[in-house]
Amino acid sequence: MPNWKRKLSLCAAALCTAAVSLSLTAPSASAQDKKFKIYLSMSYSGNSWQSEAANIVKALAATPPYDKTVELTQVISGTDPQAQIAAYESMIAAKADGIISFPISSTALNRVIHKGCEKGVKFFMYDATVTEPCAYNVSYITAGFGENSAQALVNALGGKGKIFLSRGVPGNSVDKRHTDGAMSVFKKYPGIQVVDEYYSFWDDRTTQQETAKALAAHPDVDGIWAQAGEYGAIQALMDKGSKLVPMTGENSNGFRLALANPDFQKRGLKGVSAGSPPASAGYAFKLMMEALTGKRDLKPGNIEYPLPWVPADQVKLCKGQTFEDGCNAFPEGVVPSSFVTEVFSPTLLPELSIQSALEGKPTPGATIQPLPADVPKAADEPGINCQKCEPPADQYKLTKVQPTVNP
Q: How far is the CB of 171 from another protein (least distance, A)?
A: 4
Sign of dihedral through CA atoms 236, 240, 241, 242?
Answer: negative
Sign (positive or negative) of CA dihedral 372, 359, 21, 87: positive
Secondary structure class of 311 (helix, strand, coil): strand
Q: Rounded distance, CA 203 to CA 5, Å?
A: 43
Judged by CB under 8 A, which of 12, 68, 80, 118 binds another protein? Answer: 80
| 230 contacts another protein (rule: CB under 8 A) | no
Which residue in 123, 154, 156 sits closest to 137, CA to CA?
A: 123
The minimum distance between CB 313 and another protein, in angstroms, equals 26
| Smaller CB separation from another protein, 119 or 295 | 119
The reply to whether 213 sits near another protein by the rule CB under 8 A is: yes
- In the list 71, 147, 204, 351, the residue contacting another protein (rule: CB under 8 A) is 204
46 binds another protein (CB under 8 A): yes
Stretch that binds another protein, among 63-71, 149-157, 217-225, 290-298 (CB under 8 A): 217-225
Size of the site for another protein (CB under 8 A): 90
Distance CA 349, CA 281 (A): 10
**Burial (Cβ within 10 Å: 0-12, 13-18, ≥19) of residue 72:** buried
Q: Does 215 bind another protein (CB under 8 A)?
A: yes
Whole-angstrom distance, CA of residue 360 vs CA of residue 128: 21
3-class state of residue 224 by DSSP: strand
State how far the Cα of 105 lies from the Cα of 85, in Å rounded to an integer: 10
Compute, in degrees rounded to 10, the torsion defined by CA atoms 206, 208, 209, 214. 120
With CB under 8 A as the contact rule, which of the stretches 266-274, 295-303, 322-330, 332-340 interacts with another protein?
A: 332-340
Residues 96-115 that bind another protein (CB under 8 A): 105-108, 110-111
The count of other CB atoms within 10 Å of the CB of residue 332 is: 12
Q: Which residues are registered as beta bridge partners of 395?
A: none
From 146-154, 309-317, 318-326, 355-363, give the range in contact with another protein by CB under 8 A.
355-363
Q: Kindly tell me which residue out of 26, 118, 320, 404 binds another protein, with binding defined by CB under 8 A.
A: 26
CA distance 114 to 42: 19
**For residues 107 and 261, which CB has a smaller minimum distance to another protein in the complex?**
107
Q: Is 250 in the site for another protein (CB under 8 A)?
A: no
Contact region with another protein (CB under 8 A), list: 137-145, 146-154, 304-312, 354-362? 354-362
Q: Which of 5, 24, 29, 187 lies at the binding interface for another protein (CB under 8 A)?
A: 24
User: Quick check: 30 binds another protein (CB under 8 A)?
Assistant: no
Binding pattern to another protein, positions 161-180, x when CB under 8 A?
--------xxxxx-xx----
Indicate the residue among 337 and 345 with the shorter CB distance to another protein. 337
Residue 303 β-bridge partners: 138, 377
222 contacts another protein (rule: CB under 8 A)? no
